[in-house]
Amino acid sequence: MKQLDERGKQCPMPVIETKQALETAAPGESIEVIVDNEIAVQNLTKMANHKQLKSHAEKKSDLEFHVVIENGTEGNGEKAAEEEMACIPDTRSQGMIVVLSSNQMGSGDEALGRLLMKGFVYAISHQDELPEKILLYNSGAFLSCEGSDSVEDLKEMEAQGVEVLTCGTCLNHYHLEDKLMVGGVTNMYDIAESMTKAGKIIRP
């Protein structure tokens, strides 16, 4: 795997240099790009999507984000260079909050509900407009913890600047305190304040 350290470089340099690295990489070879801000992650992820390449992003710290892009076969998903290298604005929708109060979506069969919730979180992570925050409480706390199929999708959104917050009381109730895999811990006061001030609340 090739690694590019693009920290401190202004757009569009991370996108341009990553594109150049992909052009010289073997089919199937991965490129790991290290950047220092969420907007760079959004630009790299959008470039990978335009080229129809698999990508994965993860936040390591407030100033370190890793984006891994897997090179495809020659000529796969080529788009206009101008579109690939464009510096996009922040894709987070200010004031939009996603509330996940259960690890299932809808009522009825539990296995189906868990499958639907997995699909919902995945779908949210691939929208052109991402939420500002994702709040997880009650059994929704399981979604951000070890063993959840949604952890990677939540990490992908966190790396692009989405704030992922799980209720601390809920983690304690379900004995998940040491199993949180993504985001931070919040309390009911902050959850209530976030929902009160939200311009739009998405609740599956």
The per-residue pLDDT for range 140-184, each reduced to its tens digit, is: 999 999 999 999 999 999 999 999 999 999 999 999 999 999 999
Predicted confidence at residue 76, as pLDDT, reads 44
| Axis-axis angle for helices 151-159, 38-50 (nearest 10) | 120
> For position 105, what pLDDT does the model report?
97
Domain boundary among 84, 100, 133: 84
**74-102: per-residue pLDDT in tens?**
444 444 444 445 676 666 667 899 999 99
Catalytic residues: 11
Look at residues 67, 84, 101 and tell me which one is the last residue of a structural domain: 84
Domain final residue pick, 84, 116, 136: 84
Instruction: Round to whole Å and give the CA distance between 183 and 145.
Output: 10
99 and 56 in one domain?
no
Q: What is the mean pLDDT of the chain?
A: 90
**What are the start-end ranges of the E strands in the chain?**
2-5, 30-35, 55-61, 64-70, 92-100, 130-136, 163-167, 184-186, 200-202
Domain coverage including residue 57: 2-84
Q: What is the CATH number of the domain that holds 25?
A: 3.30.110.40
Q: How far apart are CA 181 and CA 135, in angstroms?
A: 15
pLDDT of residue 74: 46
pLDDT at 81: 46
Q: What's the CATH number where 124 sits?
A: 3.40.1260.10
In 3D, which of 175, 90, 139, 161 has the Cα closest to residue 150?
139
